[in-house]
Amino acid sequence: MRKFKRALVVGKFCPLHRGHQLLLDRAQAGSEELLIVSYTRPEFPGLEPARREEWLRALYPQAAIVVLDDDRLAALCAARGIAPRTLPHNDLDDGDVHRHFMGWLCWTLLDLPVDAVFSSEDYGPGFAAVLGESYAGSPVAHVSVDQARTRIPVSGTAVRSDPHAHRAFLDTLVYAGLVTRICVLGGESSGKTTLTAALAAHFDTSWVAEYGRELWESQDGVLDYDDLLKIGREQLRREKSAAGQARRWLFCDTSPMTTLFYCIEMFGEAEPELAQLAEHRYDLVLLCAPDFPFIQDGTRRDEGFRARQHAWYQAELARRGIAYIDVAGTVDERIGQVARLLA
Protein backbone atom coordinates (compact mmCIF):
# COMPACT_ATOMS: atom_id res chain seq x y z
CA MET A 1 0.00 0.00 0.00
CA ARG A 2 1.19 3.50 -0.80
CA LYS A 3 2.39 5.39 2.24
CA PHE A 4 0.49 8.68 2.47
CA LYS A 5 1.79 11.69 4.36
CA ARG A 6 -1.38 12.23 6.40
CA ALA A 7 -4.55 10.14 6.21
CA LEU A 8 -7.96 11.22 7.45
CA VAL A 9 -10.66 9.04 9.00
CA VAL A 10 -13.96 10.64 9.98
CA GLY A 11 -16.69 8.92 11.96
CA LYS A 12 -19.23 9.15 14.71
CA PHE A 13 -17.65 6.18 16.55
CA CYS A 14 -20.85 5.83 18.57
CA PRO A 15 -19.59 3.52 19.86
CA LEU A 16 -16.17 2.64 18.48
CA HIS A 17 -16.42 -0.94 17.18
CA ARG A 18 -14.11 -3.41 15.46
CA GLY A 19 -15.27 -2.32 12.01
CA HIS A 20 -14.06 1.18 12.85
CA GLN A 21 -10.83 -0.29 14.19
CA LEU A 22 -10.19 -2.21 10.97
CA LEU A 23 -10.53 1.08 9.09
CA LEU A 24 -8.33 2.99 11.53
CA ASP A 25 -5.70 0.25 11.57
CA ARG A 26 -5.49 0.28 7.78
CA ALA A 27 -5.23 4.06 7.70
CA GLN A 28 -2.55 4.09 10.38
CA ALA A 29 -0.52 1.43 8.57
CA GLY A 30 -0.87 3.26 5.25
CA SER A 31 0.21 6.73 6.35
CA GLU A 32 2.98 8.57 8.14
CA GLU A 33 0.38 10.41 10.22
CA LEU A 34 -3.24 9.67 11.00
CA LEU A 35 -5.88 12.31 11.72
CA ILE A 36 -9.06 11.00 13.37
CA VAL A 37 -12.10 13.29 13.56
CA SER A 38 -15.28 12.33 15.40
CA TYR A 39 -18.47 14.34 15.53
CA THR A 40 -22.21 13.76 15.55
CA ARG A 41 -25.16 16.09 15.73
CA PRO A 42 -27.26 15.20 17.58
CA GLU A 43 -25.27 13.32 20.18
CA PHE A 44 -26.23 9.81 21.26
CA PRO A 45 -26.96 9.37 24.99
CA GLY A 46 -24.08 7.79 26.88
CA LEU A 47 -21.66 8.29 23.98
CA GLU A 48 -20.56 11.82 24.74
CA PRO A 49 -17.35 13.29 23.24
CA ALA A 50 -15.22 12.71 26.34
CA ARG A 51 -15.99 8.99 26.30
CA ARG A 52 -15.30 8.63 22.57
CA GLU A 53 -12.07 10.57 22.94
CA GLU A 54 -10.96 8.33 25.80
CA TRP A 55 -11.43 5.24 23.64
CA LEU A 56 -9.63 6.70 20.65
CA ARG A 57 -6.69 8.03 22.64
CA ALA A 58 -6.24 4.74 24.47
CA LEU A 59 -6.31 2.63 21.29
CA TYR A 60 -4.61 5.07 18.89
CA PRO A 61 -2.19 7.06 21.02
CA GLN A 62 0.00 8.10 18.07
CA ALA A 63 -2.84 9.62 16.05
CA ALA A 64 -4.00 13.23 16.03
CA ILE A 65 -7.49 12.97 17.51
CA VAL A 66 -10.19 15.63 17.35
CA VAL A 67 -13.56 14.83 18.94
CA LEU A 68 -16.07 17.62 18.59
CA ASP A 69 -19.36 18.97 19.82
CA ASP A 70 -20.45 22.57 19.35
CA ASP A 71 -18.78 23.74 22.56
CA ARG A 72 -15.47 22.09 21.69
CA LEU A 73 -15.63 23.48 18.18
CA ALA A 74 -16.32 26.98 19.49
CA ALA A 75 -13.35 26.72 21.85
CA LEU A 76 -11.05 25.70 18.97
CA CYS A 77 -12.29 28.62 16.89
CA ALA A 78 -11.80 31.07 19.76
CA ALA A 79 -8.26 29.81 20.41
CA ARG A 80 -7.34 30.45 16.76
CA GLY A 81 -9.25 33.71 16.35
CA ILE A 82 -11.60 32.21 13.78
CA ALA A 83 -15.31 33.00 13.53
CA PRO A 84 -17.28 30.18 15.22
CA ARG A 85 -19.32 27.61 13.34
CA THR A 86 -21.62 24.82 14.40
CA LEU A 87 -21.48 21.17 13.47
CA PRO A 88 -23.57 20.10 10.49
CA HIS A 89 -26.55 17.90 11.32
CA ASN A 90 -26.33 14.17 10.66
CA ASP A 91 -29.50 14.21 8.54
CA LEU A 92 -28.46 16.86 6.04
CA ASP A 93 -29.38 15.62 2.58
CA ASP A 94 -26.58 17.63 0.98
CA GLY A 95 -23.45 15.63 1.66
CA ASP A 96 -21.30 18.49 0.38
CA VAL A 97 -22.01 20.39 3.62
CA HIS A 98 -20.15 17.73 5.60
CA ARG A 99 -17.38 17.52 2.98
CA HIS A 100 -16.77 21.26 2.98
CA PHE A 101 -16.99 21.36 6.76
CA MET A 102 -14.18 18.79 6.93
CA GLY A 103 -12.15 20.69 4.37
CA TRP A 104 -12.47 23.88 6.40
CA LEU A 105 -11.66 21.97 9.59
CA CYS A 106 -8.50 20.31 8.25
CA TRP A 107 -7.07 23.14 6.17
CA THR A 108 -8.23 26.26 8.03
CA LEU A 109 -9.00 25.47 11.65
CA LEU A 110 -6.57 22.64 12.41
CA ASP A 111 -3.94 23.38 9.74
CA LEU A 112 -3.63 19.62 9.19
CA PRO A 113 -4.04 19.08 5.44
CA VAL A 114 -4.48 15.48 4.29
CA ASP A 115 -3.59 13.64 1.12
CA ALA A 116 -5.77 10.57 1.68
CA VAL A 117 -9.18 9.67 3.05
CA PHE A 118 -9.83 6.15 4.29
CA SER A 119 -13.48 5.11 4.55
CA SER A 120 -15.83 2.15 4.44
CA GLU A 121 -18.67 4.18 2.92
CA ASP A 122 -19.90 4.82 -0.61
CA TYR A 123 -19.49 8.56 -0.12
CA GLY A 124 -15.72 8.18 0.25
CA PRO A 125 -14.64 8.90 -3.37
CA GLY A 126 -16.81 12.04 -3.56
CA PHE A 127 -15.52 13.20 -0.19
CA ALA A 128 -11.90 12.84 -1.33
CA ALA A 129 -12.68 14.60 -4.61
CA VAL A 130 -14.10 17.67 -2.84
CA LEU A 131 -11.11 17.87 -0.51
CA GLY A 132 -8.73 17.63 -3.46
CA GLU A 133 -10.48 20.10 -5.74
CA SER A 134 -11.51 22.70 -3.18
CA TYR A 135 -8.78 22.59 -0.54
CA ALA A 136 -5.65 20.58 -1.39
CA GLY A 137 -5.02 21.95 -4.88
CA SER A 138 -4.03 18.42 -5.84
CA PRO A 139 -5.82 15.07 -5.76
CA VAL A 140 -6.68 13.54 -2.39
CA ALA A 141 -6.70 9.76 -2.63
CA HIS A 142 -9.51 7.60 -1.37
CA VAL A 143 -8.87 4.15 0.09
CA SER A 144 -11.91 1.92 0.57
CA VAL A 145 -11.81 -0.57 3.43
CA ASP A 146 -14.44 -3.33 3.82
CA GLN A 147 -17.27 -1.30 2.32
CA ALA A 148 -19.37 -4.47 1.97
CA ARG A 149 -18.83 -5.28 5.67
CA THR A 150 -17.61 -8.77 4.82
CA ARG A 151 -14.62 -8.66 7.17
CA ILE A 152 -16.44 -7.14 10.14
CA PRO A 153 -20.23 -7.53 9.69
CA VAL A 154 -21.41 -4.84 12.09
CA SER A 155 -22.68 -1.27 12.16
CA GLY A 156 -22.88 1.47 14.75
CA THR A 157 -26.67 1.36 14.55
CA ALA A 158 -26.72 -2.34 15.40
CA VAL A 159 -24.32 -1.93 18.30
CA ARG A 160 -26.28 1.01 19.72
CA SER A 161 -29.47 -1.03 19.61
CA ASP A 162 -27.94 -3.61 21.97
CA PRO A 163 -24.23 -3.25 22.76
CA HIS A 164 -24.31 -6.28 25.04
CA ALA A 165 -25.56 -8.57 22.31
CA HIS A 166 -22.79 -7.25 20.06
CA ARG A 167 -19.96 -7.22 22.57
CA ALA A 168 -17.87 -9.51 20.35
CA PHE A 169 -17.55 -6.55 18.01
CA LEU A 170 -16.27 -4.26 20.77
CA ASP A 171 -12.81 -3.92 22.26
CA THR A 172 -12.80 -4.76 25.98
CA LEU A 173 -11.93 -1.14 26.74
CA VAL A 174 -14.96 0.11 24.81
CA TYR A 175 -17.34 -2.46 26.24
CA ALA A 176 -16.24 -1.57 29.77
CA GLY A 177 -17.44 1.98 29.14
CA LEU A 178 -20.90 0.70 28.22
CA VAL A 179 -21.40 -1.48 31.28
CA THR A 180 -23.90 -0.11 33.83
CA ARG A 181 -22.05 0.38 37.12
CA ILE A 182 -24.12 -0.03 40.25
CA CYS A 183 -22.74 1.00 43.63
CA VAL A 184 -24.03 -0.58 46.83
CA LEU A 185 -23.65 1.57 49.95
CA GLY A 186 -24.64 0.97 53.53
CA GLY A 187 -23.56 1.27 57.12
CA GLU A 188 -21.72 -1.49 58.94
CA SER A 189 -23.70 -4.74 59.15
CA SER A 190 -26.37 -3.55 56.72
CA GLY A 191 -25.92 -6.44 54.31
CA LYS A 192 -24.24 -4.54 51.49
CA THR A 193 -21.49 -7.07 50.76
CA THR A 194 -23.93 -9.96 50.90
CA LEU A 195 -26.29 -8.08 48.60
CA THR A 196 -23.55 -7.10 46.13
CA ALA A 197 -22.39 -10.70 45.74
CA ALA A 198 -25.98 -11.97 45.52
CA LEU A 199 -26.88 -9.44 42.82
CA ALA A 200 -23.87 -10.44 40.74
CA ALA A 201 -24.88 -14.09 41.02
CA HIS A 202 -28.51 -13.30 40.19
CA PHE A 203 -27.59 -11.32 37.07
CA ASP A 204 -24.71 -13.63 36.09
CA THR A 205 -22.12 -10.89 36.08
CA SER A 206 -19.12 -9.57 38.02
CA TRP A 207 -18.80 -7.66 41.25
CA VAL A 208 -16.04 -5.68 42.93
CA ALA A 209 -15.33 -6.40 46.57
CA GLU A 210 -14.47 -3.76 49.16
CA TYR A 211 -10.71 -3.30 48.91
CA GLY A 212 -10.57 -1.36 52.19
CA ARG A 213 -11.59 -4.45 54.18
CA GLU A 214 -9.10 -6.58 52.27
CA LEU A 215 -6.25 -4.20 53.11
CA TRP A 216 -7.41 -3.83 56.72
CA GLU A 217 -7.35 -7.60 57.18
CA SER A 218 -3.95 -7.97 55.51
CA GLN A 219 -2.51 -5.36 57.89
CA ASP A 220 -3.94 -6.97 61.03
CA GLY A 221 -6.61 -4.34 61.52
CA VAL A 222 -4.34 -1.29 61.21
CA LEU A 223 -4.78 1.43 58.60
CA ASP A 224 -2.56 4.51 58.33
CA TYR A 225 -3.69 7.85 56.98
CA ASP A 226 -1.96 7.27 53.63
CA ASP A 227 -3.69 3.91 53.29
CA LEU A 228 -7.05 5.60 52.78
CA LEU A 229 -5.99 7.33 49.56
CA LYS A 230 -4.47 4.05 48.41
CA ILE A 231 -7.82 2.36 49.05
CA GLY A 232 -9.75 4.95 47.04
CA ARG A 233 -7.40 4.66 44.08
CA GLU A 234 -7.34 0.86 44.12
CA GLN A 235 -11.12 0.58 44.45
CA LEU A 236 -11.62 2.52 41.22
CA ARG A 237 -8.78 0.70 39.47
CA ARG A 238 -10.44 -2.63 40.27
CA GLU A 239 -13.80 -1.37 39.07
CA LYS A 240 -12.27 -0.30 35.76
CA SER A 241 -10.58 -3.66 35.35
CA ALA A 242 -13.70 -5.65 36.24
CA ALA A 243 -16.01 -3.69 33.92
CA GLY A 244 -14.49 -5.21 30.80
CA GLN A 245 -15.27 -8.71 32.07
CA ALA A 246 -18.77 -7.89 33.31
CA ARG A 247 -22.01 -8.78 31.57
CA ARG A 248 -24.25 -5.75 31.14
CA TRP A 249 -24.00 -4.73 34.82
CA LEU A 250 -21.15 -4.39 37.31
CA PHE A 251 -22.00 -4.35 41.02
CA CYS A 252 -19.58 -2.45 43.27
CA ASP A 253 -19.35 -2.99 47.03
CA THR A 254 -18.83 0.57 48.33
CA SER A 255 -17.11 3.48 46.59
CA PRO A 256 -14.44 6.06 47.40
CA MET A 257 -17.20 7.97 49.18
CA THR A 258 -17.10 5.22 51.81
CA THR A 259 -13.33 5.60 52.06
CA LEU A 260 -13.74 9.34 52.54
CA PHE A 261 -16.18 8.73 55.38
CA TYR A 262 -13.76 6.45 57.22
CA CYS A 263 -10.81 8.76 56.60
CA ILE A 264 -12.60 11.69 58.18
CA GLU A 265 -13.94 9.47 60.95
CA MET A 266 -10.51 8.05 61.78
CA PHE A 267 -8.21 11.00 61.15
CA GLY A 268 -10.41 14.10 61.06
CA GLU A 269 -9.28 15.06 57.57
CA ALA A 270 -8.74 13.67 54.08
CA GLU A 271 -6.43 14.32 51.16
CA PRO A 272 -7.94 16.53 48.42
CA GLU A 273 -7.38 13.70 45.93
CA LEU A 274 -9.48 11.34 48.04
CA ALA A 275 -12.24 13.93 48.21
CA GLN A 276 -12.05 14.17 44.41
CA LEU A 277 -12.20 10.39 44.03
CA ALA A 278 -15.34 10.43 46.17
CA GLU A 279 -17.00 12.47 43.40
CA HIS A 280 -16.89 9.41 41.13
CA ARG A 281 -20.36 8.80 39.73
CA TYR A 282 -22.21 5.56 39.14
CA ASP A 283 -25.16 4.78 36.92
CA LEU A 284 -27.19 3.65 39.93
CA VAL A 285 -26.63 3.88 43.69
CA LEU A 286 -28.32 1.52 46.14
CA LEU A 287 -28.43 2.38 49.84
CA CYS A 288 -29.02 -0.56 52.15
CA ALA A 289 -31.40 0.14 55.01
CA PRO A 290 -30.03 -0.61 58.49
CA ASP A 291 -32.84 -3.11 59.07
CA PHE A 292 -30.69 -6.23 59.43
CA PRO A 293 -29.94 -7.38 62.98
CA PHE A 294 -26.59 -5.86 63.89
CA ILE A 295 -23.92 -8.58 63.95
CA GLN A 296 -20.69 -7.85 65.78
CA ASP A 297 -17.97 -9.83 64.02
CA GLY A 298 -15.12 -8.23 65.95
CA THR A 299 -14.38 -5.64 63.26
CA ARG A 300 -17.40 -3.36 63.61
CA ARG A 301 -18.29 -0.52 65.95
CA ASP A 302 -21.90 -0.70 67.19
CA GLU A 303 -25.48 -0.18 66.09
CA GLY A 304 -25.36 3.54 66.91
CA PHE A 305 -22.37 3.97 64.60
CA ARG A 306 -24.24 2.13 61.85
CA ALA A 307 -27.18 4.52 62.16
CA ARG A 308 -24.87 7.54 62.05
CA GLN A 309 -23.07 6.18 59.00
CA HIS A 310 -26.38 5.59 57.23
CA ALA A 311 -27.49 9.14 57.99
CA TRP A 312 -24.15 10.44 56.65
CA TYR A 313 -24.73 8.64 53.35
CA GLN A 314 -28.22 10.10 53.08
CA ALA A 315 -26.98 13.62 53.72
CA GLU A 316 -23.91 13.33 51.52
CA LEU A 317 -25.78 11.87 48.56
CA ALA A 318 -28.37 14.62 48.83
CA ARG A 319 -25.67 17.30 49.10
CA ARG A 320 -23.99 16.00 45.95
CA GLY A 321 -27.28 15.75 44.05
CA ILE A 322 -26.91 11.98 43.59
CA ALA A 323 -30.15 10.06 43.27
CA TYR A 324 -30.25 6.74 45.07
CA ILE A 325 -32.60 3.87 45.75
CA ASP A 326 -33.31 2.60 49.26
CA VAL A 327 -33.32 -1.20 49.47
CA ALA A 328 -34.69 -2.99 52.50
CA GLY A 329 -35.84 -6.35 53.75
CA THR A 330 -34.30 -9.75 53.29
CA VAL A 331 -31.64 -10.43 50.67
CA ASP A 332 -34.24 -11.97 48.35
CA GLU A 333 -36.54 -8.99 48.84
CA ARG A 334 -33.71 -6.61 48.04
CA ILE A 335 -32.76 -8.57 44.93
CA GLY A 336 -36.40 -8.39 43.82
CA GLN A 337 -36.41 -4.61 44.25
CA VAL A 338 -33.28 -4.26 42.13
CA ALA A 339 -34.47 -6.75 39.49
CA ARG A 340 -37.62 -4.68 38.99
CA LEU A 341 -35.48 -1.57 38.54
CA LEU A 342 -33.25 -3.19 35.93
CA ALA A 343 -35.99 -5.02 34.05
| CATH code, domain carrying 42 | 3.40.50.620
Answering whether pTM is above 0.75, one says yes
Note whether 141 and 225 are same-domain residues: no
Domain limits at 122? Answer: 4-161
Residue 213 CA to residue 276 CA, distance in Å, equals: 21
CA atoms within 13 A on the CB side of 83: 1
Mean local confidence (pLDDT), 280-303: 78
- Mark which of 161, 196, 219 sits at the end of a domain: 161
What pLDDT band is residue 305 in, cutting at 50, 70 and 90?
confident
pLDDT the model gives residue 164: 94
Query: Do residue 118 and residue 219 come from a single domain?
Result: no
| Structural element, H or E, at residue 126 | helix 124-131
Residues 120 and 155: their CA atoms lie apart, in Å, by 11
The whole-number average pLDDT for the span 56-64 is 98
- Residue 255 CA to residue 275 CA, distance in Å, equals 12
User: Does residue 92 sit within a domain?
Assistant: yes
299 — pLDDT class (breaks 50, 70, 90): low
Cα separation values, 340 from 20, 153, 222, 253, 337, Å: 36, 34, 40, 20, 5
- Are 187 and 39 members of one domain? no
Q: DSSP class of residue 219?
A: T
Confidence of residue 1 (pLDDT cuts 50, 70, 90): low
Average pLDDT for residues 120-127, to the nearest whole number? Answer: 94
Same domain for 206 and 324, yes or no, is yes
pLDDT level of residue 303 (50, 70, 90 thresholds): confident
Percent of the chain's residues with pLDDT above 70? 96
Sheet holding 249-253, edge to edge: 206-208, 249-253, 180-185, 284-288, 325-327
Res 290 pLDDT > 60: yes
Query: What is the pLDDT, as a whole number, of residue 92?
Result: 83
Kindly state the average pLDDT of the residues 45-71: 97
| 184 and 144 co-located in one domain | no
pLDDT band at 298; cut points 50, 70, 90: low
User: For residues 142 and 7, what is the distance between their CA atoms, to the nearest angstrom?
Assistant: 9
| Alpha carbon distance 233, 140 (integer Å) | 47
At 202, is the secondary structure helix, strand, or coil? helix
Does residue 44 share a domain with residue 9?
A: yes
Q: How far are the Cα atoms of 193, 196, 239, 309 from residue 209, in angstroms, in the given order? A: 7, 8, 9, 19
Q: What is the pLDDT of residue 297?
A: 54
Same domain as 202, residue 81? no
Mean pLDDT of 71-98: 92
Gap between the Cα atoms of 74 and 181, Å rounded: 32
- On whether both 241 and 334 belong to a single domain, the answer is yes
| 291 in any annotated domain | yes
pLDDT digits (tens, 9 = 90+) for 220-257: 989 999 999 999 999 999 999 999 999 999 999 999 99
